[in-house]
Amino acid sequence: MAFREINAKMVEATVAPGQRLFSQRGAMLAYRGEVSFTPNMAGGRGGLMSMIGRRVADEDTPLMTVEGSGTVLFGHGGHQVQVIELAGDTLYVEADRLLAFEGTLEQGTVFLGAQGGVMGMVRGQVSGQGLFTTSLKGHGSVAVMAHGGVIEIPITPQRPVHVDPQAYVAHHGDVRNKLSTALGWRDMVGRGSGEAFQLELSGSGAVYVQASEEKL
Amino acid sequence: MFRLQSSKVLAVDMTGDAVKAKNGSMVAYDGEMAFKKLSGGGEGIRGMVTRRLTGEQMTLMEVKGHGTCWFADRASEINLVALQGDKLYVESSNLLATDGALRTGTDFTGLRGASQGNGLFTTTVEGHGQAALMSDGPAVLLRVSPQYPLTVDPGAYVAHQGNLRQSFQSGVTFRTLLGEGGGEAFQIRFEGDGLVYVQPSERNTIAGDV
């Protein structure tokens, strides 16, 4: 069971008995069949530590569990939707960008501040990206939201990628990230190019970047 | 070296050359890139002074390096324009990036600007190379020939090139003042030989309120 893209801003999911999926609360547009939607309390999402992590990190977008038998249409806020297939690897994504994902995926919260030392800590403050991010691991598909659609840029050890923190959507693979600055004295006196901070992603994997600097 | 990664993301492959781009429009890059603000939008002191005087504000940066740089701005659609020595007139808010070799300047365009609140001036791009324009929705390219003049809503106008004269038309009547207008009180008329880029959306103009 995967998500079927209806158009750029809507996906359709099929639910069958014994299967479930999670979606952002309020993101259901329509459904057919016998489908129930129940609020998902912090349970089943990576245990106590990750629950505390989410509370502290504000990485706590409310989810609902979707179960039953039928098809459900999802969409939210007119944002463009992208389906990402996971084959055993881990996807890192900001919680508020998660539209829906299959119940077969294991969800957790990752502390990213540990990466990149002090600059990693500063990153959250500067970029508006939390120090915590949601991780999804396993086999299944995930629907993420972006403003203006996303492009996928491969990251290889030879070619690290720098991303505008506001345009960053998600990444997967074995990727390290750190905040890099291009801050010179010119920027201090207000003559910057507007590209003072960048997220540097290195390793191997891919990063999803949206066509906009707007947060959701 | 300009290519569309998607309809809303511009990819520029660079080998040591430079491009000018709207400030802050970089979304990602690989390789080595340097970003430098062009003071006053380029063209030295003269350009800066004209820009200050005309209100045709444009903050540009110069991006130089080796690798690929991706640009996007507020999910606008991107249109590529190839210039072969001719001149492109564009609203500064619709200009995303140009080849480093292209010259940018400001030009007097008559009354049209007044209806847009953008001043009486517009940005020009001239030379040989590529420019990337932004539009709200995919832009259409309309041809103007001596037999077929074109009239455009100021809010939907994006850019034009070629040998065109433009004039400002007002449909303001007694009815408009009574609030019974058709909602199309102002238009720009293009005559001559050239191309006009029109977007399927109307940005807010004074004209939209009457």
**pLDDT tens sequence across A129-156:** 555 678 899 999 999 999 989 999 999 9
CA atoms within 13 A on the CB side of B75: 14
Quick check: B114 pLDDT over 70? Answer: no
Query: Measured between CA atoms, how close is A33 to chain B, in angstroms?
Result: 36
Is B20's pLDDT higher than 50? Answer: yes
Testing the interface with B: which of A127, A151, A168, A198 to mutate, by most B Cβ within 10 A?
A: A151
B94 DSSP 8-state letter: G
Question: CA separation (Å) from A101 to A63, A78, A144, B102?
Answer: 10, 18, 9, 47
Write the secondary structure of A99-160 as one string of H (helix), E (strand) and C (coil).
EEEECCCEEEEEEHHHCCHHHHHHHHHHHCCCCEEEEEEEEEEEEEEECCCEEEEEEECCEC
Report pTM. 0.80
Q: Is beta strand A3-7 parallel, antiparallel or unpaired with respect to A10-15?
A: antiparallel
For residues B105 and B102, what is the distance between their CA atoms, to the nearest angstrom? Answer: 10
pLDDT at position B188 is 83
Give the residue-averaged pLDDT of B56-84. 89
How close A32 gets to chain B, by Cα (Å)? 32
Nearest CA distance, B187 vs chain A (angstrom): 30
Residues 6+ apart with CB under 8 A from A195: A164, A182, B24, B26, B35, B61
Determine, for residues B72 and A210 on separate chains, whether the beta-carbon distance falls below 8 Å.
yes
Q: What is the CA angle A139-A142-A147, rounded to 5?
A: 155
Closest CA to A195 of B60, B10, B26: B26
Is the pLDDT higher at B71 or at A184? Answer: B71
Please tell me which of the candidates B5, B8, B39 has its beta carbon nearest to residue A191.
Answer: B39
- Higher-pLDDT residue of B202 and B27 is B27
For residue A177, the model assigns a pLDDT of 79
Residue of B nearest to A193 (CA): B37
Q: Does B23 touch chain A (CB under 8 A)?
A: yes
**Considering only CA atoms, which of B70, B84, B73, B90 is closest in space to residue B1?**
B70
Q: Residue B24: list chain A partners with CB under 8 A.
A: 164, 193-195, 213
pLDDT of residue A126: 47
Query: CB of A199 within 8 A of CB of B42?
Result: no
Q: What is the mean pLDDT of residues B73-102?
A: 92
pLDDT value of position A68: 92
Reported ipTM: 0.72
Q: What percent of chain B has pLDDT over 90?
A: 48
Q: Do B29 and A162 touch (CB under 8 A)?
A: yes
Model confidence over B136-162: pLDDT tens digits? 989 999 999 999 999 888 888 899 999
Extents of the domains making up chain A = 3-210
What residues are paired with A135 via a beta bridge?
Answer: A92, A108
A182 CB near a chain B CB, below 8 Å? yes
Mutate to test the interface with A, among B4, B5, B7, B9 (most CBs of A within 10 A): B9
At B119, the pLDDT band (50, 70, 90 cuts) reads very low
> CB distance from A161 to chain B under 8 Å?
yes
Q: Which residues, given as ranges, of chain A have pLDDT below 70? A: 1, 41-61, 111-132, 181-194, 196
Q: Can you tell me the distance from the alpha carbon of B26 to that of B9, in angstroms, rounded to the nearest whole number?
A: 10
Closest among A166, A157, A156 to A211, alpha carbons compared:
A166
CB B50 within 8 A of CB B106: yes
Q: Are A5 and A80 in contact (CB under 8 A)?
A: no
- In CATH, what number does B2-198 get? 3.60.160.10
Q: What is the C-alpha to C-alpha distance for residues A81 and B132, in angstroms, rounded to an integer?
A: 25
Taking the CA of residue A216 and the nearest CA in chain B, the distance in Å comes to 12
Q: Which numeric CATH code is attached to A3-210?
A: 3.60.160.10
- pLDDT above 90 coverage of chain A, percent: 39
Cβ atoms within 10 Å of A214's Cβ, excluding its own: 15
Tokens of B26: 């970089």
Shortest CB distance from B75 goes to which of A147, A159, A182?
A147
Q: From B69, which residue of chain A is nearest by alpha-carbon distance?
A: A162
Of A80, A164, A210, the CB nearest to B26: A164
Question: CA-nearest residue of chain B to A156?
Answer: B30
Gap from B11 CA to chain A (nearest CA, Å): 11
A170 touches chain B (CB under 8 A): no
